[in-house]
Structure 1
Amino acid sequence: MLRWPGLLLVSAALLSLLLHLASIFSEQLYAWATQQPYTESELKKVTQKLSDVAQAEEARPEGLKGVKPADHQQVFLHKGPLISEKPPAPKPVVKAKKTSPVKVAASRVLAVASQASAVLAEKPIIFASAASSVAPAPLLASAPEVEEVLPPLKESPLTAEQTYPTQVEITYAYGIFPIRMSWKAENGRYALKLRGALFSKSRTFVSEGDVGQQGVIPQRFADYRDEKLINEAVFNWEEKKVTIKDGGTTKVEELKAGDQDIFSAAFQLALQGSRMKDFTFTVASGRKIYKDVPFEISGQASLRLGDKQIEAILLRGRFEDRTFDFWLAPQWHNMPVRMTLSLGSEGSFDIWANDIKINGEMVLEPQSNNHNSNSNRMMRR
């Protein structure tokens, strides 16, 4: 009799554990159940070109380069100085003709007329003195201050179309696990971050530095595990040196203009690909330097991403047994919609874009979301 209560308790505990695991893995389980297979056509001859994009700074007029637009504009209104009116001209005095019947009346009229002319003659002097005695009104002190806030300046639609996005968010799929990437560029600086997590474990890559007419110029690349720094590459462009710090070991290598880290390289090709004459540059991770990796356009393929079929150009770099594949989409500012890195002992990555948001606009939605929205519309009908 005691065995049944024990079995019930064990069954309840197992069921509780399964429900707990299901809640933890709900996102991954849903992705596994609803994911569409990512497809890639065979490589073919390149028929598209990398779009010619530029930084917003390059598109500004010469006199405004380096000037940050004001977030708010303030306009102060004030009263001007008082303007005295010109005194009216005195009316001509018409002397009354003498009348012969009454001399007394004529003399009185003459006296009144002379007094009137005297008064009129004095009036211009009174006006002039009054006007000169009026002090000009202060410009700001005596007038109430009126503040008007205008909306921030906006760039023209033409400029916006020709410039590289300042903010991009991409969710890549690594199997059934999402990896989120964010790109931000502002005031000549950029920040690039990729992060994936499972349970309490996480892996984060960070690249940051300058961005301008020469494209992406990394200053630091860092690799974190569970929010703890495990290795990094620090770029010193003044001394043309890059310092690799991996655990307790440190080594210094030479740098040359155009060198990148393993993730900034994709954005350098996106920004400068249409202008670059030579696709060869050094690629650094937090553990190793890959010297003078030659990249070349290897072809074009149709990729099935999210809810769309996308034409992407493959730029492939090789270093010994390592390969760096970046698939760039010209229709989305040469965004890297797929990245395949084979780094030997450092591991390999093959990540596909599942959703993309550019400057706040969702340009690629997940296939599952699109399918669900279509189903909801059918149900409403």
Structure 2
Amino acid sequence: MMDDIVATAVPEPATVPAPTPPQVADVVVEPATAVAVAPPTEPRVAKPASGPTVPEGSLPTNATLSYDVKGRAKGFNYSAGGTLSWQQTGNTYKADLEISAFLLGSFQRISTGLITEQGLVPQRFVDRRRNNEKTAVFDRDAGVIRYSKKTPDAALLPGAQDQLSVMLQLAGLLNARQQLVEGDVISVPVSSDSDAEVWRFEIGAVETLRLPAGDVTARRLIRQPRKPNDKTVEVWLAPNLGRLPVRMRLTEPNGDFMDQLLEDMPEMVSEPNPAQENPKAVP
């Protein structure tokens, strides 16, 4: 499957801003660094941009995406179908991802919340697997994320997302900050259905993906595991589709994975200056 991917880097050199002390912010962008002559250290954190994090019009427009899903679970390969429904109504949003596989049953994630000048503000996250449902409620008055199943609360950090909304928030961030380059890192607090932690997405190259929907140009972002049992999270955002996710891949430490590949081109087409992310021609 991976042989179908043609990675093509954008010829835009990364610059190194003057180092600044680490700061806590709703969105943190860590610049790419030059080749080090000393032992590698954690990249310094750039000052957050002033003003809205995700200005109005930066989020992708409403769309329903269908995916061809390939994966492996407990050593068995499987194929499935999936859909992602992304809807904005006024200042509210709903994202609904559903995957159904023969023998494995259905898997659904739903994120609902508000849209502000900071982008998505989740209020409730639902994870359904067969007959089991878990929820995360973002209680902003109390400053905590409350989980079902008697799981302890987690601190609600500024800019926190859930595991579904973060994919759309990243799209809005890249639409709003087109100066971001390969090697930059975006740090976002992310909640699952049972805990929360900061995810660090490294911005990768622009690639031409050979998908069931056809050839699509997309920017790859990757979250590497940072502790035992962490999963690798990869997402490819297409500028010609408002940076909606045309591919999403989750890989477990044991090698199990789920790879969602865009099956059909959606009717909507939004182009927030995609010329800045055209890949090199492949000889």
**What TM-score range do you get, normalising by the shorter chain?**
0.5 to 0.7
Instruction: Give me the TM-score of the superposition, normalised by structure 1.
Output: 0.50
What amino acid does structure 2 have at the position aligned with 1:328? L
Q: Does 1:267 align with 2:153?
A: no
Cα 1:240/1:319, change in 2 over 3 Å: farther
Match of 2:156 in 1: 255
C-alpha deviation, 1:37, in angstroms: 9.1
Matched, 1:168 2:71: no
Find runs of 4+ consecutive structure 1 residues off by over 6 angstroms. Answer: none
Deviation at 1:323, TM superposition (A): 1.8
Q: What's the CA shift for 1:170?
A: 0.6
Q: Does the 8 Å CA contact 2:235/2:249 hold for their aligned counterparts?
A: yes
Closer, same or farther in 2 for the Cα pair 1:352/1:199, shift >3 Å?
closer
C-alpha separation between the residues in 1 aligned to 2:191 and 2:212? 31
Kept after mapping to 2: 8 A contact 1:313/1:329? yes
Q: Tell me the distance in 2 between the aligned counterparts of 1:46 and 1:255.
A: 38
- CA shift at 1:46, angstroms? 6.0
Change (3 A) 1:329 1:37: same
CA RMSD of aligned residues (A): 3.2
Q: 1:337-378 deviations in whole A, cap 9, x for unaligned?
A: 011123558x6421111113245x7xxxxxxxxxxxxxxxxx
Determine if contact 1:168/1:356 at 8 Å carries over to the other structure: no
Question: Is the contact between residue 38 and residue 303 of structure 1 (CA under 8 Å) also seen in structure 2?
Answer: no
- C-alpha displacement of 1:308: 2.6
Measure how far apart 1:284 and its partner are: 1.3
1:326–1:339: 8 Å Cα contact kept in structure 2?
yes
**Which whole-Å CA distance do the structure 2 matches of 1:224 and 1:165 have between them?**
25
- How do 1:189-208 residues align onto structure 2 when only pairs under 5 Å count? 189-198=92-101, 201-208=105-112
Q: Distance in 2 between matches of 1:43 and 1:323?
A: 21
1:52-63 paired onto structure 2 within 5 Å: none
Q: Which moved more, 1:334-343 or 1:272-281?
A: 272-281
What corresponds to 2:186 in structure 1? Answer: 279
How has the CA–CA distance of structure 1 residues 173 and 186 changed in structure 2, closer, same or farther, with 3 Å as cutoff?
A: same
Counterpart secondary structure, 1:272: helix
Q: Secondary structure of the residue that 1:271 maps to in structure 2?
A: helix
Structure 1 counterpart SS, 2:171: helix
Query: For the structure 1 residues 239 and 43, does the alpha-carbon distance in structure 2 shift closer, same or farther, using more than 3 Å as the test?
Result: farther
How high is the sequence identity, in percent, across the aligned residues?
26
Where relative contact order (Cα < 8 A, 6+ residues apart) is larger, the structure is: 2
Q: Which amino acid aligns with 2:138?
A: F
The CA distance in 2 between the partners of 1:327 and 1:255, in whole Å, is: 27
2-structure distance, mates of 1:240, 1:343: 31
State the 1:239 CA deviation: 2.1
SS at match of 1:356: coil
Q: Does 1:244 find its partner at 2:147?
A: yes
Shift of the alpha carbon at 1:186?
Answer: 0.5
Q: What are structure 1's unaligned runs of at least 5 residues?
A: 1-35, 48-54, 60-161, 362-381
Larger radius of gyration: 1
Give the corresponding residue for 1:39. Answer: 4
Change (3 A) 1:307 1:181: closer
Aligned length: 213
**Offset from partner CA, 1:253-298 (integer Å, 9 cap, x none):** 1121211111111100101224468711121111332x22211212
Question: Contact 2:67–2:260 (CA<8 Å) still a contact in 1?
Answer: yes
Q: 1:206 & 1:39 partners in 2: Cα distance?
A: 30
Q: CA deviation at 1:234?
A: 1.2
2:259 maps to 350
The CA deviation at 1:199 is: 5.3
Partner Cα distance (1:182, 1:313) in 2? 21
Corresponding position of 2:76: none
CA contact (8 A) 1:293 1:319 kept: no
2:33 corresponds in structure 1 to: none
Q: What letter corresponds to residue 114 of structure 2 in structure 1? A: D
